[in-house]
């Protein structure tokens, strides 16, 4: 019976994990969890040919330096920004050779990434972009400063720039243990010494995975059931508590129901346009 229960819990837990990856919203949620790094974006410097005083020709090249706080080089995961009429961008990185001491060297990470379909027309001119470390020609590690070279060859535009430039650091993900492995570890070990600690850690890991509050709550409930399953020899000593088998089977039924409900969640609307049957409108709102 315990084996059947353990398989049931494994599949439920695995399904829970699947669900957290299947909805795009949760995917972007986990993206937002990584904070962008504090950096200083210097004002753009436009390159001129010859005499800098002569303003007649507008420059088509400008350089934007993004510096990181002194002594805190980072490994870049991605650079995000919003385009404003820049046609091409080249990314150069100032990297430190070794961990602590060593010379710094500029290298080109990306040459002439096209941001606009056609430099003379509006397509792509105000879009949001990310440059991921996978797209870069060199490893963006131990980076102290970033130089973005913006090019806009068309004379059709007054200004061009990049807005809201953000750097995201690369996080080495700890090798994730399959959550079910935790459970099977707990179930196999006969008398786990610090079971309470292990279970609380498990809850914390789960909550990191799936920030959805209800999922955490359900996970906690799962944990309490696990406790009943895992400590059979203690059950007889607990007087006045409900039989663990009945509790676990009723909770199993509840779980099955919630699974069915959540799997069948539909995005279709009911179609009512009134509020409780009333649709008497005064004037249209102009704001």
Partner 1 sequence: MEDGTDVSLSIAQIVQRLRGSHLHSQLERQAKDCLHRPEIKLESLKEDVRSFLRASGWEKRLQNAVYRELHVQLPQCHPTAPAEHLKEPLAYMRKAQASWEKRVLKSLNSMSTELGVPLARMRPAGEQKDLTNKWNEMGTDEPDLSRFRPVYAPKDFLEVLISLRNPNHDSSEDMTVKSHWGLIQVPLNIRDIPQLRQAYSELNLNNGQLGIDDHAHVHPDLFENNYVHIGKKVVVEQDSAAAQQYSRRGCPTGLRSDLWALILNSTNQPQDVMHYEQLKAGVIQHDLLVDYLIYKDVKLTASNDDYYFVFEDFLYQVLLCFSRDTAVLEHFKYNSATPPKSYVHGKVGNEEFAVLYPPNGVIPFHGFSMYVAPLCFLYNEPSKLYSVFREMYIRYFFRLHSISSSPSGIVALCLQFERLLQAHLPQLFYHLRQIEAQPLRIAFKWMVRAFSGYLSTDQLLLLWDRILGYDSLEVVAVLAAAVFAFRAENLMEVTSLASAEAVLADLSTLKVMPLIQIFLFATAI
- Contacts with partner 1, residue ranges (CB under 8 A): 22-24, 27-28, 31, 80, 84-85, 117-118, 120-123, 125-130, 132, 134-135, 155-159, 263-269, 271-275, 278-286
CA distances from 231 to 193, 196, 197, 219 (A): 11, 11, 15, 18
Nearest Cα to Cα of residue 259 among 11, 2, 24:
11
For the bound state, the minimum distance from the C-beta of residue 115 to partner 1, rounded and expressed in Å, comes to 12
If the CB atoms of residues 52 and 267 are measured against partner 1, the closer one turns out to be: 267
Q: How far is the CB of 164 from partner 1 (least distance, A)?
A: 8
Residue nearer to partner 1 on the CB measure, 91 or 186: 91
| Least spacing, CB of residue 260 vs partner 1, in Å | 12
* Tokens at 41, concatenated: 């974006």
- The radius of gyration computed from the CA coordinates of the chain, to the nearest angstrom, equals 28
Beta bridge partner(s), residue 78: 132, 168
Rounded CA-CA distance 242/35 in Å is: 46
Minimum distance, C-beta of residue 15 to partner 1, in the bound complex (Å): 15
Q: Which is nearer to partner 1, 117 or 243 (CB)?
A: 117
Q: Which of 34, 128, 32, 31 is nearest to 75 (CA)?
A: 34
54 or 193: CB nearest partner 1: 54
- Angle among Cα 280, 284, 287 to the nearest 5 degrees reads 140
Question: Are 183 and 6 contacting, i.e. CB atoms less than 8 angstroms apart?
Answer: yes
CB of 36 to partner 1, least distance (A): 10
Measured from the CB atom, the residue of 111 and 130 that comes closer to partner 1 is: 130
């Amino acid at each position: 019976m315990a084996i059947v229960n353990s398989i049931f819990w494994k599949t439920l837990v695995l399904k829970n994990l699947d669900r957290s990856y299947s909805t795009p919203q949760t995917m972007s949620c986990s993206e937002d969890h990584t904070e962008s790094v504090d950096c200083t974006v210097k004002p753009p410097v436009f390159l001129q040919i010859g005499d800098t005083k002569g303003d007649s020709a507008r420059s088509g090249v400008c350089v934007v330096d993004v510096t990181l706080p002194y002594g805190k080089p980072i490994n870049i995961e991605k650079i995000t920004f919003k385009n404003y009429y820049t046609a091409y961008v080249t990314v150069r990185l100032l990297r430190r050779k070794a961990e602590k001491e060593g010379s710094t060297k500029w290298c080109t990470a990306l040459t002439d990434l096209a941001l606009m379909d056609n430099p003379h027309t509006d397509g792509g001119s105000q879009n949001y972009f990310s440059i991921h470390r996978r797209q870069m020609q060199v490893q963006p590690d131990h980076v102290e400063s970033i130089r973005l070279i913006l090019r806009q060859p068309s004379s059709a535009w007054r200004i061009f720039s990049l807005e809201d430039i953000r750097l995201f650091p690369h996080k080495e993900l700890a090798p994730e243990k399959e959550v079910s492995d935790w459970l099977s570890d707990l179930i196999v070990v006969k008398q786990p010494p610090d079971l309470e600690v292990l279970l609380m850690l498990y809850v914390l890991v789960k909550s990191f995975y799936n920030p959805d509050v209800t999922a955490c709550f359900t996970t906690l409930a799962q944990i309490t059931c696990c406790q009943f399953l895992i400590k059979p020899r203690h059950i007889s000593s607990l007087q006045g508590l409900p039989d663990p088998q009945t509790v676990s089977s009723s909770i199993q039924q509840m779980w099955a129901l919630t699974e069915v409900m959540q799997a069948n969640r539909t995005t279709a609307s009911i179609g009512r346009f009134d509020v409780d049957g009333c649709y008497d409108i005064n004037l249209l709102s102009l704001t």
